[in-house]
Each structure stands twice: as structure tokens, then as C-alpha cells.
Structure 1
């Protein structure tokens, strides 16, 4: 995993972006999911406006940069399976909690793979990523429009998701490995915060 050295300006920009995400995370302790409407534009924005979905997309990109770009294909498989399952009315107990914890799982896979320092077991990492994405895609399937806008909505959601995950891969591969490690730690903590902050607020 050789990476080109980055400039201090690029690193500062990345850390600034992470700080902005952390601030948004603190300001939105609960996930905001609901039925989606509209066509391709609405679909494009939908996975980007839910903070848990956005963090997962960044995490998938980080895992693909750190382990293997093949993980993007595993993520696509998970997205199709979860989306179809959700569109057919399927759901899981504690789905919102699982979706948030999926962020921590993907981030943890990055740290685990880096600690092992050996050839990545793509079947293991790929299965984890596919399962994490499938939970989020299931929520999208439950929210997606079921009228004539359905196909264009899904196309928009796919394009938006690909831009975030693919863009994360391209950026991180131009930065030192330590940046990916720090991002993984931040995502692991962020996933836990998204998962348990709503519970903490309910207990207050």
C-alpha cells in the first residue's frame, strides 16, 4: 500500500473536513429516516443527507483504499441484496442501531487489517463490508418511492454513493497510510456515537 506523500495543505483540508463531520454528528444525535420522494435528484441526495449513511460510504471508501478496491464490488453486491430485501418490505429488528454499528464494523476492519500486516482475506473483509452496506441499503429500500420514480431514484442513490466511496478511495490513496488509520479511528467512534447517543438522550 504505497501512497504518495501529501502536502500539509491537503492534510489540513482533510482534517478540517473530519472536524466538520464530527460537529455535524454532535448536532444530530439521532438518525432521520423516512419515506423518500422524487426522482434522480432526490435519490442522489438521500444517502448523503443521512449522517449514518454518509459515514458508512466514507468508511467503505477507506476500507477499499486500505485493503483492496475489490471491496467496492462487495459493497455493490450488499447494496443490491439489501435494497431488494427492503423494497420487498423486509426489515431487521433494531435496524437503525445495526446500521450505525455497521460503521464501526467497517472502520474496525481497516484497523484489524493494518494490524495484521499480512495479505488481506478478501472473503472476510468483503463479507463484512457487504453485510454492513446491506443493512443500510435495506433502510433505503424501505424508504424508496414505489411509483414511476423508483428506477430514477435508485439510479441517483447509486451515483451519489459511488461518488462518495470512490472519491474517498482516490483521496486516501494519495495520502499517507496514517491518515486512513486516523480516519478509521474517527469513524469507529462516530459509529458508536450515532448508535448510542439517541439511547443516552432517552435516558436523560
Structure 2
């Protein structure tokens, strides 16, 4: 458990620390990509929500492990396009705050929900997060590169959340495996 959690944390930290160095390549496109990549890491609300989606996906298990992050990224992208186009959505900041609270509570309570319903919920929150990313895009940014950056960062955060969620249950699985092996070793 500690190895998996440490590997995920170390990978996220290494990627985050390496990004500022990549920003000094002298290419405006690279800088836009890096700005997009860093955007989800710059606000605690985005960071917590995206990690929570991964943890909750792992807690739900089965097809939710791939469905929730995929739904979030698809709807995040849709929301970003709306934000970049200047289309207003009501209560974006309140919805983002609600996403932190609701997803945090679902993770805390280990609440299992049918995968389709969970995907709809995370998708609705993702539109709001994407809208915020889109409206906060620097005016000089190349939209595709900036968007690619924050989508990649979001996927990385979801993956880290999934690793955390799976690691939380690993000791129980190891204990169950040991318990199943004991009768075999006694028979020999």
C-alpha cells in the first residue's frame, strides 16, 4: 500500500517540479501547454475534486474506475469550450465549491453509486470545472495546447486518486490472500 501511494505521490510531485523547467524552452506553444498543465494544480478546489473523482472511482470499482474519469474529462472539455467561447453558466464558483464538498463526502462515506449515476454527477461538476479553466485561459493562449495541458493534468490527478483509492483497500486484500493460503500450507 505504501509503495503504491508513494509511487503515485512521487510521480505527481516529480511532474509538478519538472514543469517549470519545461516552461523556459522559448516556445510560446510550450508555455501555453505548461500553463494549462499547471492550472488544475494551482487551486485547491480543482486539485481536491479531481483527486476525489479518482478515489471515488476506485471505491466504486468495476467499470466506474474508467467511466468516472472518462466522463469527467469529456465534460471538462465541453465546459472549457463553453468558457473559451464566452458562454456564461450560472453559479460556476458555487458549483465548484459544491463539487469539493459532495465528492469529498461521497469518498469519506465510501458511498457506492451505480456507475452511470456517478458518471452523470461527476460530469455535471466537470462542466463547471472546465468552464472555469476555459474562462481563466490567458488571452494569448493557444486554446488547443492550453486545453491539452489541463486535460492531461486532470487525467494524471484522476490516476493518482485511483491509486490512492486502490491502495486504501490493499491491506485487506493481502490479509484475505494470506487467510486463503493458510489452509493449503497446513495440508502440506
What's the TM-score once normalised by structure 1's chain length? 0.62
* Contact preservation (8 Å) 2:45, 2:97: yes
**Residue of structure 2 in register with 1:75 after alignment:** 72
| Residue 54 of structure 1, CA deviation | 0.7
Tell me: CA distance 1:115–1:95, structure 2 relative to 1, closer, same or farther (3 Å).
Answer: closer
The answer as to 2:32 corresponding to 1:39 is: yes
Give unpaired runs (5+ residues) of structure 2: 7-30, 172-188
Larger radius of gyration between Structure 1 and Structure 2: 2
Question: 2:88, 2:154 → 1: CA distance?
Answer: 21
> 1:39 aligns to what SS in structure 2?
helix
Give unpaired runs (5+ residues) of structure 1: 1-5, 14-37, 179-204
Between structures 1 and 2, the one with greater helix share: 2
1:50-80 CA distance string (max 9 Å, x none):
1111111111111111112121111122212
**Residue of structure 1 in register with 2:45 after alignment:** 52
Question: 2:146, 2:78 → 1: CA distance?
Answer: 17
RMSD: 2.8
> 1:174 aligns to what SS in structure 2?
helix
Equivalent residue in structure 2 for 1:124, among 117, 123, 126: 117
* Contact preservation (8 Å) 1:82, 1:133: yes
Equivalent pairs counted in the alignment come to 146
1:1-204, aligned counterparts within 5 Å? 6-7=1-2, 38-67=31-60, 68-69=64-65, 70-110=67-107, 114-115=110-111, 120-147=113-140, 149-176=142-169
| Residue 111 of structure 1, CA deviation | 5.2
Question: 2:149, 2:159 → 1: CA distance?
Answer: 15
> 1:74 aligns to what SS in structure 2?
helix
* Contact preservation (8 Å) 1:52, 1:103: yes
Pick which of 162-171 and 41-50 moved more: 162-171
Tell me: CA distance 1:153–1:79, structure 2 relative to 1, closer, same or farther (3 Å).
Answer: same
> 2:138 aligns to what SS in structure 1?
coil
* Contact preservation (8 Å) 1:39, 1:152: yes
Tell me: CA distance 1:177–1:104, structure 2 relative to 1, closer, same or farther (3 Å).
Answer: farther
